Chains A and B, each alone.
Chain A
Amino acid sequence: MQSNDYTMNLRRDVFQAIADPTRRAILLLLASQSMTAGAIAANFDTARPTVSKHLQILTECELLQQEQQGREIYYHLNAQKMKDIADFIEPFRRMWDERFDRLESVMKNLQTPK
């Protein structure tokens, strides 16, 4: 999958943001530490401006936060926003869980008729 992030009119949607493999790799990289743009870029073969663009998108949709430390800007994960993504499938999961609970009840009842 390639990224067409240079189209500035791209909707800055969280799920669109994480649909890109490089951006997912960046999020993983930042899971346990804050890093500067340079340090992040050093992990990719991608050109530095492209990595910057990814960082910009991730920051715009609030998955990353910037923090100034002296002369350097460090990027770190926005834990709350990441949690929002994890919660995103929960209502769907719960719906199936309830359905399957009912399936189990209905069938158990068949299994042991009065």
Chain B
Amino acid sequence: MDSCRTMQRATPPSTFVALALLAVTACGSSGGTGSSPDAVRPRDGGSLTYAESQEPGCWDPHSSSEDSTAFVQRPVFDSLVHQTPDGALEPWLASSWRTGKGGRAYTFTLRRDVIFHDGSRMDAAAVKANFDHITAKTTRSQYAAGLLGPYEGTTVEGTYRVTVRFSRPFEPFLQAASTTYLGIASPASLKAGQAALCAGTGSVGSGPFKAGRYVRGQQRAYARNPRYAWPPQSANHSGPARLNSLTIRFLTDDTTRVGALTSDQVDAVAAIPPHQVGILTRNAQLKTVSKAIPGAVNAFYLNTRSSPFSDPRVRKAFQRAIDFSTLAKAIFQGANSRAWSLLSPSTPNGYAPAEAGRRPYDPRLAARLLDAAGWTGRDAEGYRTKDGDRLTVVAPVYGTASLFTQAVQGALKRAGIHLDVVESADAAEVSTRLSQGRYDVVQTSWARGDGDVLSQFLLSTADPAYGGRNFSALSDPLLDRWLKAAQTARSAKQRTLYYAKIQERVLDEAVAVPAYIPTGSVAHSTRVHGLRLSISAWPEFYEVWVEDR
């Protein structure tokens, strides 16, 4: 229970992990489907072993905010709605839906043939039980409940008809409903209690794979669900999954994980370090697929309440002092490019192309701004000082600082700014530091297939003290109004316009400094076919099949 609670409280596992995780690279192959037009006929059976870099702290997607939870539970839990790799929304467990009350109610008509792994039927009551579980206080939801925004309640309208109600129109809901965080579990399994759900042993969904044996610190096994007949429309396959079984191994060390692939101990790996991409691409036994991750790009959120960054001139100096274009090119060797706006170009309803090229690297401007802000002195190590105090900004990091962060640290040093990276392997420690506001800058990214991802970073109510991610400590009434307007606006075009305005304001004020656009990539053996990357660039296993050895 305790460990589970700790992980729930901890924002870091997902945020900081995201930073490490998403600092992965791609090779030149096209996004989305990576496998070649298969000369060999697909076959059923076989097993696949996949090496993942992060192990979830809590396995309950309704509770955890970790992206690894969403990934490892995707094979087990289906959702009402499916978001295709291109970002379009299509029916899944819900065969259709319509909105009512001016966007304040969503009525889903459910499929009638869906059976959970425990044999029970998926119906309106089951869906209601799931939403009740997500919003229950005892679940201590770190993310799923937040995805529901102004949620009011769920009403069962008939055996296979259910309505989800909101206090105001809430457009991002359908996309939210497509994530694993709002995945539909068997109602009986939800009664097991948070400890069991977080432990990952009681996961019962309706997905193409059933949860199998889980050994903490090592791996989780999955077995094919022989009854599966309800894949989303866009799947290139029907009926049960092709793989007999699936194993996800947790190998946190980059070198070990990649080594496991090259030595044929695993069939596929995630999170390939940038410097390994070239080596893997040259290996004829391997294939790499990659995809730009939508959502909030990797960015630095500057704490506007901390002493150096309360001065907008210091924030703007930070924004202009780092040559992100060159750094990204050098560190990621072409895999991830620099970001100009907070939302990634692949984000549905959100990208702000107008920001590209604005506020470029300008060391002289940065120096002038720091001079004007009074940071005119220099100490023995070359850092700027004011009244004898060094210009130091504290950046908490969960785990170890990435190569990119170290390079940014070097770039800031040249500008006279000391980026004090405080590393900690203790998620709770980092989380406490964040909730107490003992930081000046937080570097993070957040994958999501909708521009609404910005509300969790910029809404004044998203206080880090209560599990929110308003790391810049903003309380800007204008931003709040625009963020809510973007949630309410009924047309995609309108929403995009609002997100563009929001990003422009945030960048003008330099409260957040976009760094690079993360790319998700997976390398796999050429024996593996049909491996597709989801909207969030995680591999999907439903269609995958493997050749005989």
Q: Do the two shown chains form a genuine complex with each other?
A: no
Q: Could you list which residues of chain B lie within 8 angstroms of chain A, going by C-beta atoms?
A: none
